[in-house]
A and B are shown apart, each in its own frame.
Chain A
């Protein structure tokens, strides 16, 4: 029997819950747009469907993964944020994809803080990184607001060169 549960995490303005089939239109729109250029996109709808399936399977394989981030006031899904460590990753990562129209409100930072809290407090991680494409200045600013600092680079077969940002240790946050 293959069983797993994706916990729900609440922040002041956001609900982080497991991704579902109903999220597909919003996720497909994001990965079809140029907004996804720093995170492996643009992708076809077919590729995005498999990616969404992969987001869910990540939870089953590792016991953690990324959440669909829902704006409490509107109920809209505004991004995919959480913990990510597929095979070949340098070490477990905190990642954030913020969808079009939800920028400038601090949602990525708020959700990533919740994800980091989950990693440190629930999973017992002792460190965490985030990977950011060098040209992705908006994402680098989120990493900075989270207190993460540049810590080398990582070359990936598909994503190319990525800057590694290391988060403050659990005892420092």
Chain B
């Protein structure tokens, strides 16, 4: 492929665009920090640059990949979300990472929900998993907020990760999970409304 168009997704607060050169310093800051310990980091600057380039190449090879999450208004970046399946991954993964100082605003939920709907509705995915380090409690909780459940029988990457299986497109369309996600996102946007069970991160 000599040419690539990475789609742009828009949500209430966010714009998801393909990774661009200008966003690299934000990526490097997180992937060279302790925050990346569950995603193969911390990385040195050579490894971080190579991984960032690979994030873009992944789109070309697979036709899907990870988006950079931007604020709709300020354009600042908050993290990444999307699909990921390098060699060695048993299934297509839905993945996310939020910069450490941008956590707690529901950006990962809002971005990942939009990415998953794009893969299901536009790219025709019939399902997806997330591979999560069992110690990564924040990500496990996000997977559960997205309606994913632990799949004890699924093949793992290397035996050190837990597999969370996302609801099928049909189950997601059926309402309850999608409504719950939409409600939670709206609650982040308008925090005057606080239902019981409000996630603390």
Residue from A4, A17, A52, A53 having most chain B Cβ neighbours under 10 A:
A53
Q: Tell me if A86 counts as interface (CB < 8 A to partner B).
A: yes
Q: Tell me if B55 counts as interface (CB < 8 A to partner A).
A: yes
Residue of A1, A54, A156 near B50 (CB, 8 A) is A54
Chain A residues contacting B18 (CB-CB under 8 Å) are 1-2
Q: Is the CB of A20 within 8 A of B57?
A: no
CB-based nearest A residue for B18: A2
Q: Tell me if A12 counts as interface (CB < 8 A to partner B).
A: no
Kindly state the separation between the CA atoms of A86 and B53 in the bound complex, as whole angstroms.
9
Kindly state the separation between the CA atoms of A18 and B50 in the bound complex, as whole angstroms.
17
Q: Tell me if A49 counts as interface (CB < 8 A to partner B).
A: yes
Counting contact residues on chain A (CB < 8 A from B), the size range is 20 to 34
Q: Tell me if B154 counts as interface (CB < 8 A to partner A).
A: no
Given contacts A21-B61, A45-B87, A86-B49, contact A53 B54 (CB under 8 A): yes
CB distance from B157 to the nearest CB of A (A): 9
Q: Is the CB of A5 within 8 A of B3?
A: yes
Q: Tell me if B5 counts as interface (CB < 8 A to partner A).
A: yes
Kindly state the separation between the CA atoms of A44 and B47 in the bound complex, as whole angstroms.
16
Q: Is the CB of B1 within 8 A of A61?
A: no
CB-based nearest A residue for B44: A157
Q: Which stretch (B19-27, B70-78, B140-148) binds chain A?
A: B19-27
CB-based nearest A residue for B24: A61
The 8 A CB mask of B1-22 against A (1 = contact, 0 = none) is 1111110100000000111110
Kindly state the separation between the CA atoms of A46 and B19 in the bound complex, as whole angstroms.
22
Given contacts A2-B19, A5-B2, A61-B52, contact A55 B88 (CB under 8 A): no
Residues of B in contact with A (beta carbons under 8 Å apart): 1-6, 8, 17-21, 24, 28, 44-61, 86-88
Please give 8 more A-B residue pairs, beta carbons under 8 A apart, in addition to A1-B17, A53-B86, A54-B57: A1-B6, A44-B88, A45-B87, A53-B60, A56-B61, A58-B53, A61-B24, A157-B44
